[in-house]
Amino acid sequence: TMFARVVAIISDVCEGHKKEVAVLFVLTSILSRVVYRSWQSNSSGEEKGECKRKQSTSTAPVTAPAGYIETIRNVASPNAPFFLLEMRLKTARQIFRVNVPLSGGLYVVSNPDAAREILKDVSCDKPIEIYKPFQSVTGDPGIFTRSTYDKMWTSVRKSTAHSFSSTQVQRMNRICTEHTEMWLTDRVQSSVNKFGSFVFDPSEEMTQLTFRSIMESAFEYTSNEQDFETFSHNVEVSLKEFAIKEGGNPFRFLYKRFDPSYYRALQSSKIAQEFVRKVLNTYRNGNDPKRSDATTLVKIICDNKSLTENQKITELYTFMLAGFDTTGYTLSSTLILLAKHPEVQRKLQRELLTLEPVERSKSKYLKCVINESMRLLPVAATGSYRKASRDFTFPDEGGGEIVIPKNAVVAMPFYVQNRDPANFAEPNLFIPERWETNYDKVKGAAIQFAYGARNCPGQSLAMAELYSTIPKILSEYKLELEKEGKLDYFLTLKYVGAKLRASRLESSS
């Protein structure tokens, strides 16, 4: 009876496929555990002795109460960040283990000091078992998935850093500002003049805005609405398969070829890659009238003779994907939070209107609002993963010390850390004022971008866009919540189906 029940659950996890596949799933899971435990029991005497010595002064982290099936079902779904936060609260620990059949185990860390220590350790590489599925999306290994020890990763990272110098960020941000002004004139102002207000979906509008901005400023390509639809749709289809389903479910390879969605994802990957190829060829042929003489990202990658054509496509694809949706959804989440909290919106607008337009990006309260928005709704909700290169020892809330063992996969989800009651008072509330006092302490508890050698190379541009776009909108328009929508996670955390109403701010008319 128990086995039949497990098969029924697994059949659901396998999205309704044949029960024979589900049985294979269960048997493979059991076999994996047996093999792993056998390997542990046959470790060398030296390793056993070392473990015994460590156990005398430290213990292993507690294990989350969810079993293998429940964990896999949640981690390989849009519920991933919410599930991990639930496990953190149930274990009452900032470091705990979850039941996933990975060699070395999967440990979740929400302690900011522990996370920084792991992220800053250059010997802790990205775990291939987590990141390899992304290669099916982009075509080849790239800057996001390559090992830190890969000479090609070092070469691409160093060369592309020039495109994010302060001079280049200023240039790109000017282009982003121009696109924001065009959006305000063509979309918002024209509707307000005609109907008195403009109702819009901020997630859709802000991602399209950042896409157009990034395509021109970094890739020297003038995009249109069809380009955005083609790229964003096919990226979403392929990422759902390869990043979410395969990345979170170590057994999907057993039955994915029975699933039509797998083949749709392969086709979508090819379509998105061909769009990136078109962007590269447009630059190479000098067909875009807005071509720049600057050291742009597309120029650096195009001129890199150590990269093959397919590798150039992969690198451009990676930067393109990382560049528009993360910034776009951070913008939209911030606007929604301001509409949901009109007292915060009014306070920010009052401060902005006391400043000259060129000084508004330096508003102190704007800084508090953006930091609080990124804390509460971190777009990269599941954060970063690393493979422990050594044993890591940290204090345990229950007393004593705990050890994350060498070769363990360590997850550092920003959503969990930023909503951890041990890190923030009233962690689920939007309180920008928490950043006005004890800034360093609050900043130290929140991780907005990864640390160390694998940090986000474009974070300076992302922040520049946030600090220029939000003041432009808020200094002219009042935002009201028409429809809240729902919070959704699919690689990025964002609101889906929300609607805002923009009307002219009286003091700016």
In sequence order, what DSSP letters do the residues of 8-76 get, joined into one string?
A: HHHHHHTTT--HHHHHHHHHHHHHHHHHHHHHHHT--HHHHHHHHHHHTT-BPPPBPSS-HHHHHHHHT
Q: Can you give the pTM of this predicted structure? A: 0.86
Return d(Cα 95, Cα 364) in angstroms, integer.
34
If pLDDT is split at 50, 70 and 90, which confidence band does 239 have?
confident
Question: Measured between alpha carbons, how far is residue 384 from residues 46, 109, 138, 150, 425 in Å?
Answer: 32, 10, 19, 19, 24
Return d(Cα 53, Cα 56) in angstroms, integer.
5
Residue bearing the bigger pLDDT, 71 or 43 = 71
> Is 51 marked as binding a ligand?
no
Phi/psi at 147 (5° precision): -70, 150
- Partners of 487 in beta bridges: 495
What is the rounded average pLDDT for all residues in the chain? Answer: 86
Residue bearing the bigger pLDDT, 41 or 238 = 238
- C-beta separation of 151 from 173 below 8 A: no
Task: With a cut of 50, say whether residue 9 has pLDDT above it.
Answer: no
- C-beta separation of 160 from 206 below 8 A: no
- Partners of 493 in beta bridges: 489
Return d(Cα 422, Cα 254) in angstroms, integer.
40
- C-beta separation of 140 from 152 below 8 A: no
Return d(Cα 505, Cα 135) in angstroms, integer.
47
Q: Residue with structure tokens 């949640």?
A: 74
If pLDDT is split at 50, 70 and 90, which confidence band does 58 have?
low
pLDDT tens per residue across span 366-390 = 999 999 999 999 999 999 999 999 9
- Burial code of 365-398, b = ≥16 C-beta within 10 A, e = fewer? bbbbbbbbbbbbbbbbbbbbbbbbeeebebebee
pLDDT score for 448 = 75
pLDDT tens per residue across span 464-508 = 999 999 999 999 999 999 999 999 998 899 999 999 999 999 865
Q: What does the pLDDT average to over 450-472?
A: 85
**How do strand 477-483 and strand 392-395 relate by DSSP bridges?**
unpaired
Angle made by CA atoms 298, 247, 142, in degrees to the nearest 5: 25
Q: Long-range contacts: 235-240, Cβ < 8 Å, 24+?
A: 235/137, 235/268, 235/272, 235/321, 236/490, 237/264, 237/265, 237/268, 238/136, 238/137, 238/265, 238/266, 238/268, 238/269, 238/272, 239/137, 239/490, 239/491, 240/265, 240/490
pLDDT score for 311 = 95
Low-confidence winner among 340-354, 366-380, 391-405 (lowest mean pLDDT): 391-405
Task: With a cut of 90, say whether residue 411 has pLDDT above it.
Answer: yes
Task: With a cut of 50, say whether residue 49 has pLDDT above it.
Answer: no
Fold category of 56-504 in CATH: Cytochrome p450 (1.10.630)
Residue among 478, 397, 460 nearest 96 (CA)? 397
**C-alpha of 276 from chain center:** 21
Provide the greatest CA pair distance for the chain. Answer: 80
Residue among 307, 274, 279, 303 nearest 291 (CA)? 279
pLDDT score for 287 = 67
pLDDT tens per residue across span 256-275 = 888 888 889 999 999 999 99
- Tokens matching residue 265: 């994802």
Q: Long-range contacts: 19-25, Cβ < 8 Å, 24+?
A: 21/254, 21/255, 21/258, 24/254, 24/255, 25/251, 25/254, 25/255
Domain limits of the chain? 56-504
Half-sphere exposure of 428 (CA within 13 A, CB side): 2
pLDDT score for 56 = 41
What 3-state DSSP class applies to 307?
coil
pLDDT tens per residue across span 287-338 = 666 677 789 999 999 999 999 999 999 999 999 988 888 999 999 999 999 9
Intra-chain end-to-end CA distance of the chain, in Å: 71
Task: With a cut of 50, say whether residue 25 has pLDDT above it.
Answer: no
